[in-house]
Structure 1
Amino acid sequence: MKNTAYRLFKKPFFGRFVKPWRWPEQADRQHWQRLQIASESGATLSALLGPAHTAKVKGAVLMSHPMGVVAKGFWMKYGHSEMLRRAGYHVMVFDLNGFGESTSTTMDYPLDVLAAGQALQARYPDLSVAVLGASMGAAMSVCAMAQPHHPFKAAVLESAFPTLLHFWRRYPVPKLGIQLSKLFYPAGERSLRPTYAAEHLVGSPNLLLIYGESDEFTPVEDGKLLWRTLEQKTHTEFWQVPNAEHTHAFAAHPVPYAEKVIGFLDAHLGAESGARCN
């Protein structure tokens, strides 16, 4: 009954994305290992593990997707996962509950990020773990870092909204749902609010925030609101990307993006660890 109620509540937000998941044409299936992960949200998460293409491995990166039918395939479709693997990082892509091939349960998405991150850390206990998120995946990653026992030493967060209302303010039905949740289930709304999580970060993960100047959904001013809160708690860098649309800074500037992201991860993960590829 509880999951049925959540599915009905989630439909105005995510209903159009609930479609059968397909492998991106660009992905070589032989290079990915399928995994199933149990989340405290009650969901069984579908994940894919891609090993680094290098003998020396610098760390492991969890990739938390934006909203969309492609779900975890976003990172393969647009080349982010291969960029990281070529640079010496193991990567795990996964579907948040209700997206892609994961089962649908509650809206406790930070618990999905937490479960996937812990599974990645358990897979590579001698490596440092980071998370790379985009839009919803980035926002929920911030919230996951307010959870005890999260494994993330660093995070790259693109187009993360500061609150749910900032993102959904253009959409009347979801906006109303969020406003009602603040009245009738305030703890649930707080658990999904990145600015609240930013004030309660666990540990001191190093953060890189990325926002595109052509982003209509999470504009730069929204990003700076989140940045101001995060930088009071931990080292937080802010990169404002010219001509980049929502979640597409890599597409707009692939070389500077790779240099910025890999340089950041190397500085905060690569120096701590270095192992032979398993």
Structure 2
Amino acid sequence: MKLFNDAGYHAVIFDYNGFGESASVDFEYPRDLVAVAKAVQREFSNLPIAAVGASFGAMRAIEAGGLPGCPFDVVVAEAVAPSLIDFWKNYPVPAATLRGMTMLMPRYEERLRPTFMLKKYRKGSLLLIHSEADRYTPPEHGVAIAEAAPQGVIIQRLVLTRAAHTFAIRDEPEEYRAKVLDFLGRHLR
């Protein structure tokens, strides 16, 4: 938050349903994010909107951008996997559960897969941040996401060397700050 406030941006933080203070109702996390963005848009109709997320939040932000009426102008996605299965591949039980869910409910799983929802974008800009030190979401995940982007969607990448999963701003603050603020300055209009 401090990074964005110090740079002159307004920022909103919220919990997805089932996390923090909110009740667990369903798994429609991308819709939750769109609802928050629309509330911000109603309050500040003259300002562009960016979604900034890490890991789970980054996946949901990319998916939300593919939903009708999503007001995001840009997405900054740190440590994002192309799918839940890709993220959980090192953990046999969750990975098997997700593969089973995919077989039973393929349409539902698609909505929770960034590479599928990104194909619904018609425009927009995404900054994908990965680190060579991240064992959960390595830089190859960014390649897979970038390859899924349709024409007209701008993809930029930042590949760090030392940042642990979801800790880019802590582990490589200068690189993170410079790239994120430059990206927002160029694409958030």
TM-score class, shorter: over 0.9
User: In terms of mean alpha carbon deviation, does 247-256 or 89-98 score higher?
Assistant: 247-256
Query: Is 2:172 the partner of 1:253?
Result: yes
CA distance in 2, matches of 1:117, 1:173: 34
Query: Is 2:19 the partner of 1:99?
Result: yes
Question: What does 1:48-67 align with in structure 2 at a 5 Å threshold?
Answer: none
Match of 1:234 in 2: 153
Match of 2:105 in 1: 185
Does the Cα contact within 8 Å between 2:124 and 2:152 map onto a contact in 1?
A: no
Query: Is 2:103 the partner of 1:172?
Result: no
Matched positions, count: 189
Which of structure 1's runs of 4+ aligned residues deviate more than 4 A? none
Does the Cα contact within 8 Å between 1:144 and 1:150 map onto a contact in 2?
A: yes
Does the Cα contact within 8 Å between 2:41 and 2:71 map onto a contact in 1?
A: yes
CA distance in 1, matches of 2:93, 2:41: 38
Instruction: Spell out, residue by residue over 1:19-43, the C-alpha distance to the aligned partner (whole angstroms, 9 max, x if none).
Output: xxxxxxxxxxxxxxxxxxxxxxxxx
CA distance in 2, matches of 1:172, 1:211: 23
| Compared CA separation, residues 233 and 139, structure 1 to 2 (3 A) | farther
- Segments of structure 2 that go 5 or more residues without pairing to the other structure are none
Residue type at the aligned position of 2:32: D
Corresponding residue to 1:204 among 123, 140, 143: 123
Instruction: Give the fraction of aligned pairs with identical amino acids, expressed as a percent.
Output: 37
Q: Which has the larger radius of gyration?
A: 1
Does the Cα contact within 8 Å between 1:199 and 1:233 map onto a contact in 2?
A: no
Instruction: Spell out, residue by residue over 1:184-229, the C-alpha distance to the aligned partner (whole angstroms, 9 max, x if none).
Output: 111110000111111111x411111100110010011122111221
CA distance in 2, matches of 1:233, 1:107: 29
Does the Cα contact within 8 Å between 1:156 and 1:261 map onto a contact in 2?
A: yes
> Structure 1 residue 234: deviation in Å?
0.6
